[in-house]
Amino acid sequence: MNWNRRVKTIFAQSYRPVFIVFLLLLLGGCNNRNETSHPGVAEAHVPEFGDTFIESSIGDASTLLPVLASDSASSEINGLIYNGLVRYDKNLQIEGELAESWDVSDDNLTITFHLRKGVTWHDGAPFTSADVKFNYQLYIDPKTPTAYAESFKQVTGVETPDPYTFIVHYDKPYAPALMSWAMSIHPRHLLEGEEITKSPLARKPIGTGPYRFSEWLGGEKIVLDSNPDYFEGQPYIKRVVYRIIPDISTQFLELQTGSLDYMGLSPLQFDRQTDTPAFRRLYNKYRYLNFGYTYLGYNLKRPLFQDKRVRQALSYAINKQELIDGVLLGYGKVATGPYKPDTWVYNDDVPKYGYNPDKARELLAEAGWQDSDGNGVLDKDGKELAFTIVTNQGNDLRSKTGEIIQRRFKEIGVKVQLRIIEWATFLKEFINPGNFDATILGWTGGPEPDQYNIWHSSKTGPRELNFIGFKNGEVDNLLEEGRRVFDP
């Protein structure tokens, strides 16, 4: 859930490829009834300011500068500290945030944003159109190591005729243009002329959002305090604490003792461990089909995975429904791509790779892999068909998925090692530098169907999102064409 929206509902009232496995999850969560109003209570009591909301994360944030952040832990916290010009409302319709309103030209080449007046940064400096212009320049600066530059590279020019008007021009229609300005706005007066990668704001951020940064104890917690000057009103919850707890079982114990107010539940926790009268008296539980999926992605820069037959064989060797039933306890759907099944962009007619180990063996044999020495592992040119799958610590669903996949691959003669790695190390030493064979990870998207940053061949550089190295000219063309189509 977008934290900017979550602040309004809880506090103020309040993507890779050649994927082998797609698991579209039904996410479970729970929150303390004492912290959130429920039917029959909101009408009887006027909300009061105060109290602390505590939740947990399996990994620490990497940076609190949104332009540099591509991990979920950082992004969730940044969503409380910063604002964009626009956002999605609770019905997934675009509404203004730092922009009060906007006008789009008839030819869809110009957007004029009318900014809110009286908005201030957390240090008291005024927010103006100069900040928005600076952010545009920051994102497209080649010296800024960001994964999000592409949307702003579509812009041909910007204007700031006055402190509360920002005009952006495009040379051709760009379908995601409006929502691209949901990206967090950074403070010009603190960053202009500075080297972004060395800014102290990465550890002590200044935003315009509903919460101000208070404290960051690495590997332990991040603390935010409510912003009394927030332009939509001070949040009722006075303080938000993110505790870093790498193990989800430990998180659940903390929840039961009252040390946490909110956590995402595993299917086992949701289905069995919380289905008691005592738990229901204290907590609300929710589940919904979200915009996320879990996948097994191969590093396509490795020669082994450049043979399409190998990738197809591995896909046939995985029983996706087994993962849904055994790991998710039925709380999920087998996905065939990055799009949520009940959305207009979803296509149920795409080719599917059902569980077929015989077909997998046939494809591997066709690719030249045979068990020449009878040890149960296929080999070719004196080299075994073996690789390592890495995933992050603290996510039992991913580790259990990896164990099942490991067993299924063994059945077709593929030797796999599974490594579970602490989150910060996982990102820094494996994912960001591309130092992996295959990985089990997840993407969470939203209503905007544009997948350019994850799938386009131009986005395979350092710290970009296509870190598995997927390249396909036809896909590139379709992604580019899709950005110019306005009507589904």
From CA 291, how far away is CA 252, in angstroms rounded? 24
The enclosing H or E element of 222 equals: strand 221-226
- Are β-strands 383-384 and 110-115 bridged in parallel, bridged antiparallel, or unpaired? unpaired
**Residue 485 backbone phi and psi in degrees, to 5:** -100, 125
Amino acid at 21: V
Instruction: Note down pLDDT in tens along the chain; length 488 residues.
Output: 333 333 322 222 222 223 333 333 444 456 665 544 333 334 456 788 889 999 999 899 999 999 999 888 999 999 999 999 999 998 889 999 999 999 999 999 999 999 999 999 999 999 999 999 999 999 999 999 999 999 999 999 999 999 999 999 999 999 999 999 999 999 999 999 999 999 999 999 999 999 999 999 999 999 999 999 999 999 999 999 999 999 999 999 999 999 999 998 989 999 889 988 989 888 998 888 788 899 999 999 999 999 999 999 999 999 999 999 999 999 888 988 888 888 888 888 988 999 999 999 999 999 999 999 999 999 999 999 999 999 999 888 999 999 999 999 999 999 999 999 998 899 999 999 999 999 999 998 778 888 988 999 999 988 889 999 999 999 999 999 988 887 65
* Whole-number Å distance between alpha carbons of 199 and 191: 7
Would you call 198 helix, strand, or coil by DSSP? helix
Q: What is the C-alpha to C-alpha distance for residues 31 and 240, in angstroms, rounded to an integer?
A: 14
Mention every residue, 6+ apart, whose C-beta is less than 8 A from residue 447: 88, 92, 291, 343
Residue 170 host element (H or E): strand 165-170
Count of residues in the chain: 488
Six token digits for residue 263:
């956590």
DSSP 139-185: HH-TTS--S--HHHHTEEEEEEEETTEEEEEESS--TTHHHHTTSPP
CA distance 319 to 59: 29
* Residue type, position 452, single letter: Y
Quick check: helix, strand or coil at residue 268? helix
What domains are defined for the chain?
A: 289-482 (3.10.105.10)
Q: Comparing C-alpha atoms, which of 73, 82, 37 is closest to residue 55?
A: 73
Going by C-beta distance under 8 Å and a sequence separation of 6 or more, which residues neighbour residue 299? 305, 434, 436, 437, 438, 439, 468, 469
Residue in 485, 481, 486, 487 with CA at minimum distance from that of residue 452? 481
> Do 296 and 387 form a contact (C-beta atoms < 8 A)?
no
Dist. CA 388–CA 438, nearest whole Å:
6
What six digits make up the tokens of 165?
């008007």
Do residues 430 and 421 lie in contact, with contact meaning Cβ atoms separated by under 8 Å?
yes
> How far is it, in rounded angstroms, from Cα 2 to Cα 88?
8
pLDDT of 40 reads 38
- Angle (CA) 8-151-140 rounded to 5° is 105
Q: Please give the single-letter amino acid code of residue 328.
A: L
Q: Could you tell me which residues are beta bridge partners of residue 415?
A: 386
CA-wise closest residue to 15 among 480, 459, 453, 473: 453
